[in-house]
Amino acid sequence: MTDQTAVPPHIALLRISGSVMLARCIGVVAELGLADGVAAAPKTAIELAAETKSHPGAMYRALRYLASNGIFAEDAQGRFTNTDISNLLRTGIPGSMRDSVRQSWQDVMWDTYKKIPHTIRTGEPAFTEAFGADFFDYLSAHPDIGARFDAAMAMQSAPENAAVARAYPFGDFKSVVDVAGGRGGFMTELLKTYPNLRGVLFDQQYVLDQPNHVRDAGLLTRCELVGGSFFETVPQGGDVYVLKRILHDWDDDTAVRILKTCAKAMSSRAKIVVVDAVIKPGNDPDPNKALDMGMMILLKGRERTADDFAKVYAAAGLQLTRIIPTGAPSTMSLVEGQLG
């Protein structure tokens, strides 16, 4: 976002408020697939309107507005092409963000945003108030929305996996247990990066039965798939226990419960590495503060500060030993601990 200190305060506030309209227009053109429509050749708003059964005049005015914000570009003949930003709205390309901003997904989020006052008053998730269901239960009941959420999360995780894998000396150990590791995207990155490493991918059995990155990569000879619940037990014998983007889904009491389960399985020499956002102190811009708001309104989870992590570790019988930030494109940190 533009530095708001360079403009009068009332203009800065209006720009921030106006970004709601910009975001909505992005969602609409993503839903209509306009970035795909102009990928091969420039097209006029009239052509795009005909292809999408839209109003030509309204289409032009929306595209003109988006182009003034760097999303699409209009040439002298009134034809529109992609920019670096709108190119991310194309389907199926590396780094595509279309699924994470489409109107259908925005509709879910906007209905949630309407209930933010409920969250501020009560501390309870706005999503539950809006839809009468837990977030993940809702996704299970609406597989079309769930699929888009999964695709958006996969898009976010894939580029950060390499940064996380290289930020910590996993190669110094013999075995790693990826707790609630899902379909194994991060585990696959670890095994490819460190050929000496062996892994255990631990998650609920129905998750492990789905398409799996470890299996697809032909790495099952170095990785065991173990089903179970981290509220009950996790596999013993690991040198490192990893929880990537897991604890932030839960409140502190539940996070402590999960950490205690891991602590019971750890030897005195084992490490635990939580990969999550670590909120910075002060007023400087921090994308993790926005993530924290998202967790608050969708779930009962939260992003945490270094002090917050130290407290939940201590409550679980663990000692926080160091925090290692990752490099771009990741905003995550690795929070290392051991038995206290």
Average pLDDT, the chain: 93
Residue type (1 letter), 86 = S
Same fold, 4-93 and 156-280+299-339: no
Query: Which pLDDT band, with edges at 50, 70 and 90, does 257 fall under?
Result: very high
Q: Which residues pair with 240 in a beta bridge?
A: 176, 271
For the beta sheet containing 271-276, the strands, ordered from the edge strand earlier in sequence to the opposite edge, are 223-227, 198-203, 175-179, 240-244, 271-276, 333-339, 318-325
Instruction: State whether CATH 1.10.10.10 applies to domain 4-93.
Output: yes
DSSP 155-204: HHHHHHHHHHHHHS-GGGSSEEEEET-TTSHHHHHHHHH-TT-EEEEEE-
Q: Say yes or no to pLDDT of 60 above 70.
A: yes
Of 105, 65, 116, 107, whose CA–CA distance to 86 is shortest?
Answer: 65
Q: Does residue 211 carry a pLDDT above 90?
A: no
Q: Is 10 a catalytic residue?
A: no
State the Cα–Cα distance between residues 202 and 179, nearest whole angstrom: 5
Q: What is the mean pLDDT of residues 19-27?
A: 94
Question: What is the mean pLDDT of the segment spanning 39-59?
Answer: 98
pLDDT of residue 5: 56
Distance CA 295, CA 72 (A): 31
Question: Which of the residues 10, 118, 142, 248 is marked catalytic?
Answer: 248
Token output for 132: 């009468």
The domains of the chain are located at 4-93, 110-141, 156-280+299-339
170: amino acid identity, one letter: F
3 compared with 95, residue with greater pLDDT? 95
Per CATH, which fold does 156-280+299-339 belong to?
Rossmann fold (3.40.50)
Say if residue 158's pLDDT is above 80. Answer: no
Question: Among 43-47, 144-148, 188-192, 260-264, which stretch is predicted with the lowest mean pLDDT?
Answer: 144-148
> Helix, strand, coil % (nearest 5) of the chain?
50, 15, 30
Q: What is the pLDDT of residue 4?
A: 53
